[in-house]
Structures are given as C-alpha cells and as structure tokens.
Amino acid sequence: MTRECLCRYTLAIGSLLSIASLAAGQSSTPSFEDLSRSAQQAYDAQHDDDAERLFGEAVKLKPDWAEGWWAIGMIDYQHDRYPECRDALTRMVALDPNAAPGFALLGLCEFRTKQYDLSFQHLKKSHMLVPVKAEGGPLLNVANYHLVMLLTRQGAFELAQDMSIEVALKDRDNSEMMFAAGLACLRMPVFPPDVPQDQRQVVVMAGKAYWDLITQPPEQTEADFKAMVAAYPKFPNVHFFYGTYLAAHHPEQSVPEFLEELKIQPESVPARVSLALRYITDGKIADALKYAREAVALSPDSVGSQLALGEALKASGDDQNALAAYQAAEKLDPDSSKVRLYLVNAYRAVGRADDMRREREEYERIKKAQQNWP
C-alpha cells in the first residue's frame, strides 16, 4: 500500500494527521505540539523511523490522541510490521469507535497475522460503518476483498457473493476480486493462493461469469456460463452454479442442472435445497418434501436445509411442522433477520399472535443492528 494511498485514507477520516499549532514559547522538554509537528514533518520527508519515534513520544504525552495511533499504525503497515500495526490500531479504534478506515486497517493487519476471527469481526465492523451506496475508497475496497475471502473460508458462500456484488458495482475491473468471487460461486472454502494450479482456470471462468452477470449484457453472461459448463462439465458445483443463475433468469431450465450436480456430488445439500425450492414453485410438493427432507438428513445443522423443509411443509399445509423447521433454523442462526421473518409468518399461520409480535420486534432489532450488512 503506497504512501499516497495511506494519506488519502487519513483525509477520509477527517484529516487524522492534522497537527496542532505550535505553542508560544519553548521548554527544555518537547511539548506535545512540538512532537506532533516534528513527527508530521518527518513523515512528509519520508523519514519513517524518525516519524514513528516522534509519534510514539507524542502519544506517551497524550495517550488519547487517536490520530497519533493511526499514524503509527499506517507507518507499521507500510513497512509490513503487522503485529505492531495491529497493536497501534487497537488503541486507535478504542478511542474512535466510528472510524471505518481504522477498523479496516486493523482487520487487514489481523489477516496478515492469521488472526482470522478477529480480522473478520473488524472488517465486518468497518463495512457496516459505511453506507452501501457510499464510495468507500481504495482501503475499504481492499477490506471488502478480504471479507469475501474470509466469508468463503467460513462456508458463507452466498454472503460472499452478495459482498462481491457491492464491489463489482463500484469496481468493474478487479481480477483479484473476480477470482475470489469465483471461489464463492464454486463453494470452495479456501484462500486464493491455496487453489491448485489445475483448478485455477475454472475459478477464473466462474468469477468472470459472476462479474459479467453484474456488469455486462445478458448475452455475455450466457456465453460465460456455457463456456464454463462446456470446459468443466464434471467439476464440483459448476452445474449447481449454472443452475442458480438459471433459477433467477430462466427458472424452467434450472432443474436439470441441479439434478446433474447430484450425479457429480450425490450428497450435495445445496442442490437438494435448490430443487426443493424450485419444486415448491412448480407445485410439485411431494418432490419438494423429498429433497428438503434429504437435505436436512444430510446436514441437520444447515440453516438453508431447515428453511427449505419449512417452506415445503408450509406448501403442503402442515403449518405446525413448518414452524418447527423454522424454529430449528432460528436456533442455528439466531442473528439472522431473514429467519426471524420466516418465523413471523409461521406464528401468524398458527395463530400465535404474541409470538408473532415478539419475532417482529426481533426482526426489526436485528435489521437495525446489522445496517449496511448484506
């Protein structure tokens, strides 16, 4: 990350490196104003070691100077001193809990030190502090790229794809992000450098298809998907990915792709969930129940499986057992506003008005707490 970029980030959070005016009179011990001014001058002259030493002395005199901790963190990040950067920015965000760039750079440092859980928490915080349609700038785009990688590694593939959409709408030519999106689309829970060489091309093709879906005319997207399926007809989740595209744009053509995926991966839970939901729409409730129950049997801890079963049971008229499936999903993911909304409707269907109101309140609370999160 260049010095110029880091300076832009400083401006983005309100001139964090602005220096106080020099106090009248001099003393034998440098004042905070003297130190902060000299630190800025050293930084501007690219004397980073001197700048960091002077910023360090300044924050000793004024430990609640968030801008000083930010400057120290920037210098450490620029010189690949990630543990030191992490420690400085931990102090900074404690002083300024609304500093999106601070949380972003902290999360990036923690990614480098392989503290992936903390990195995810802080990158997510940074993302949520910036409105979806706002221009986050280069730093926050890099942060979102790392968020996509972490979500994919966690197996939160749909959420990673949603995050990729936000980046694609702002940055239409980002090959690294396309590759990361390709991993999410093919449901490969690995970081990009860990993809074997003989699998990289299919990931490239999947990422391009997804990116073009967002940024290019439909004809280009269709061509991308057909080329991918033709080149890699037996690669896991290629047919599933194509099926999800068809389900959204040509739903009547999606079922054969999901069934083809089951031939390649006989225990595919996502393919079964997608089939169940498609068959509900087609009015084939018995088939929907079959695939939804198989999905739950294969993966009882899958929120998607439980929701699909709930939908299939509801479509069959079995509201009580549908409610039980939604409740199982809620236990698996109590912080999902989507699941809470399913429960609102389920409680309404069985006439439990008090529970319906409680779930509605939980839904509103969670939505408010997770603003700007996909």
Q: Taking residues 111-131, what's their average pLDDT?
A: 94
Q: Does the pLDDT at position 18 exceed 50?
A: no
pLDDT band for position 25 (cuts 50, 70, 90): very low
pLDDT band for position 136 (cuts 50, 70, 90): low
Q: CA-to-CA distance for 271 and 258, rounded, in angstroms?
A: 5
Contacts of 176 (CB under 8 A, 6+ apart): 145, 192
Q: Taking residues 140-155, what's their average pLDDT?
A: 94
Distances (CA, A) of 105 to 4, 18, 151, 185: 15, 19, 18, 27
- Its CATH class, for the domain covering 1-113, is mainly alpha
pTM: 0.87
CA dihedral 208, 213, 217, 221 (to 10 degrees): 60
pLDDT digits (tens, 9 = 90+) for 282-337: 999 999 999 999 999 999 999 999 999 999 999 999 999 999 999 999 999 999 99
Are 191 and 119 spatial neighbours (Cβ–Cβ below 8 Å)? no
1-113 and 234-374 in the same fold:
yes
When the pLDDT of each residue in the chain is averaged and rounded to a whole number, the result is: 91
Domain 234-374 homologous superfamily, CATH? Tetratricopeptide repeat domain (1.25.40.10)
pLDDT for 373 equals 85
Helix, strand or coil, per DSSP, at residue 65: coil
Helix, strand or coil, per DSSP, at residue 26: coil
Estimate to the nearest angstrom the gap between the alpha carbon of 160 and the chain centroid. Answer: 5
Q: Name the residue ranges covered by the structural domains of the chain.
A: 1-113, 130-232, 234-374
